[in-house]
Amino acid sequence: MTPTHAGHATRYPAEFLALTDTDEKTLSVLNGSCVFAEPFVREDSLMAWEKSRRFIVEALHGDGTIVDYGCANGYLLRCLQEWSGSRLEPFGVDNHPGRLNQARAMFPSLAHHFLDPAELTESRIFDYVYWAVGDNVDFERQENQNWLALVRGHTAPGGRFIMGFYDTPEANQRKLTVLRARGTAFDAVLDNPAGSGEMIAWVDC
C-alpha cells in the first residue's frame, strides 16, 4: 500500500494508484469516464473527479454487489471500492462497446461482470443499483418511465436503487420533481457536500 491520492490521507493499493500515476493514464481514465477536464492538470483533475463522485459512498452502507448502469470504463466502480470502506463486488452495464471493453480491462478477472444492456437478464439482481441518468433523459416520457422501472427492477429485495444527477442543481431538482410526481418515492436525497452541484437520491427496496 502506498499513501495518498488527490490530497486524501487514505492509503490506497499501489495497483489503484497506478491507474493514474502519469498524465497520460489519468487523462485516459477520466476521458473513459466521460470526464473531459479543461484545462487538464493531473492532480487538480483527479481532485475534481473525486469531489464530484466521492459523496456517492454515503449511499453505500455495507458490503454487497453493485451494478453501475452506464459504467463507462469502470473507474467509478473502482473508486467506490476504495472510497466506500465496504466490500463491493462490481458489475457494469454500458451500451458503448469501447468503454465496456475498458471496464473489462479495469477488472480483468471479472470481465464477465461487464455487459451490454441486452445481455443483462431481467432476473439479475444486485444489492446496489447505481444509475447516473443522462442530462437529456426526460422522465415525463413514458418510455423513460419504463426504462426506470427496468433498471430499478434489478435491485434486490432489501437493496438500494440509487440515482445520480450531474446536471445543474436547478435541472436536477426539476428531474426529481418529475420523478416524484410520476410515483418514485425516494427515501433520501443528498446534494454533493463538496459543492459541485451533483445530487444522488435513493430508494430502499
Ligand X SMILES: C[S@@+](CC[C@H](N)C(=O)[O-])C[C@H]1O[C@@H](n2cnc3c(N)ncnc32)[C@H](O)[C@@H]1O
Q: Give the interface with ligand X as residue ranges (CB under 6 A).
A: 33-34, 53, 68, 70-72, 76, 93-96, 99, 117, 132, 134, 164
Task: Please say which residue, 62 or 117, places its beta carbon nearer to ligand X.
Answer: 117
In which residue are the cell numbers 430502499 written?
204
Distance separating alpha carbons of residues 148 and 62, to the nearest angstrom: 24
Distance separating alpha carbons of residues 117 and 102, to the nearest angstrom: 16
Q: CB 77 → ligand X: shortest distance, Å?
A: 8
Task: Please say which residue, 3 or 98, places its beta carbon nearer to ligand X.
Answer: 98
Distance separating alpha carbons of residues 164 and 87, to the nearest angstrom: 21
The cell for 10 is 487514505
Distance separating alpha carbons of residues 171 and 151, to the nearest angstrom: 21
Task: Please say which residue, 3 or 133, places its beta carbon nearer to ligand X.
Answer: 133
Task: Please say which residue, 117 or 195, places its beta carbon nearer to ligand X.
Answer: 117
Q: CB 131 → ligand X: shortest distance, Å?
A: 8
Nearest residue to ligand X by CB is 70
Q: CB 123 → ligand X: shortest distance, Å?
A: 18
Quote helix, strand, coil % in the chain, to nearest 5: 45, 25, 30
Q: CB 93 → ligand X: shortest distance, Å?
A: 6
Q: What is the 3-state secondary structure (H, E, C) of 139-182?
A: CCCHHHHHHHHHHHCCEEEEEEEEEEECCCHHHHHHHHHHHHHC
The cell for 195 is 459543492
Q: CB 200 → ligand X: shortest distance, Å?
A: 10
Task: Please say which residue, 68 or 127, places its beta carbon nearer to ligand X.
Answer: 68
